[in-house]
Amino acid sequence: MDRELAMEFVRVTEAAAIASGRWMGKGDKIAADQAAVDAMRQAFDDVCISGKVVIGEGEMDEAPMLYIGEVVGAGGVKVDIAVDPLEGTNLVAKGLPGAIAVLAIAPRGGLLHAPDMYMDKIAVGPKAAGKININAPVIDNLTAVAGALERSIEDLTVVILDRPRHADIIKQVRDAGARIKLIADGDVSPAINAAIEGTGVHMLLGTGGAPEGVIAAAAMKCLGGDMQGRLVPESDADIERARSMGITDINKVLTIDDLVSGDDAIFAATAITQGDLLNGVRYFGGGARTHSIVMRYKTGTVRFVDAIHKYEKKPMLIKR
């Protein structure tokens, strides 16, 4: 993949964020999501890739665009694409922090074709890479991460989705003495935060969407962090769907290299609402300002992009 493509992918997430951000706090998550999807799909038309969506908005009969299997781009290098035009639909609808427009790109075959089901996840930053074990008790992982970071367990902050299914994990983390940051939606941003020093986040734990797990893994790989996942099927149909997508061992612990393979990957995200790492979209007369992150595994480059977008200002109509 050409390194210049990284900035092209930022423009894609910027377009989705600007379109979706207009719906912040308006209580309509469907409209916010649709705005992001429409803008992202249109922006892909100008990118010189032959991209195949492997993680997207659903099957062809479920989504009119950015559906699994759709080919996007203006032609060029063949890549697999994982997209979430709006991660955190409820966050935007309610005006809450943490919503992002996000995508991950890898050479063809480089992204796990994760089925739309739950996945157990654990993610940590570079200093704790290789120290985690998703099968180990929570206390063992906390101890290992604390040791890698040269601090006590009481100094760790763990991000967990605020869901009833996580009651036991939450209790174990609290009993161990670590601090917890409960989040309402979206676990891609917290995974990134765990891999970047200064965010105050040291680990992600819990069960979330498998597609989001692959996207987060791309970011973790670019940042030198570590992540493990394990699919959590809820029915025989989930198991069959996983098998149809090439996953034969449903109980396999998926390493970061299983989730994102090969020697190249690009991750890009633009904040829609305010986050711990990125500022949300801010609008002004005649334009908007966005804050994005883009990274590439092959080069180890991580860029923060603070951009001003100007557009034609429509004349204000004044009723007399």
Distance of CA 223 to the CA centre of its chain: 13
- 3-state class of 85 per DSSP? strand
With residues binned 3-state (H G I as helix, E B as strand, rest as coil), the percentages for the chain, rounded to 5, are 35, 30, 40
- Interior CA angle at 85 toward 210 and 30, to 5°? 95
Give the integer Cα–Cα distance in Å for 267 and 13. Answer: 10
Residue 88 assigned ligand-binding role: yes
Residue 57 assigned ligand-binding role: yes
Residue 58 assigned ligand-binding role: no
Q: Which helix (H) or strand (E) holds 203?
A: strand 203-209
* Sole residue written with tokens 């605020």: 162
Residue 315 assigned ligand-binding role: no
Residue 168 assigned ligand-binding role: no
Taking Cα atoms as reference points, which of 240, 237, 242 lies closest to residue 229? 242
Residue 118 assigned ligand-binding role: yes
Residue 130 assigned ligand-binding role: no
Cα distances from 286 to residues 26, 222, 236, 290, 312, in angstroms, run 21, 35, 52, 14, 6
Tell the burial category of 302 from Cβ atoms under 10 Å away from its Cβ (0-12, 13-18, 19+).
middle
Residue 193 near residue 276, CB atoms below 8 Å: yes
Residue 38 assigned ligand-binding role: no
Give the integer Cα–Cα distance in Å for 96 and 159. Answer: 16
Residue 84 assigned ligand-binding role: yes
Residue 241 assigned ligand-binding role: no
- 3-state class of 167 per DSSP? helix
Residue 257 assigned ligand-binding role: no
Residue 165 assigned ligand-binding role: yes
Residue 211 near residue 176, CB atoms below 8 Å: no
Number of H helices, E strands in the chain: 9, 13
Residue 33 assigned ligand-binding role: yes
Residue set of the binding site for substrate = 87-89, 118, 163-165, 185-187, 209
Query: Which residues line the annotated binding site for Mn(2+)?
Result: 33, 57, 84, 87, 212
Residues of each annotated binding site? 33, 57, 84, 87-89, 118, 163-165, 185-187, 209, 212
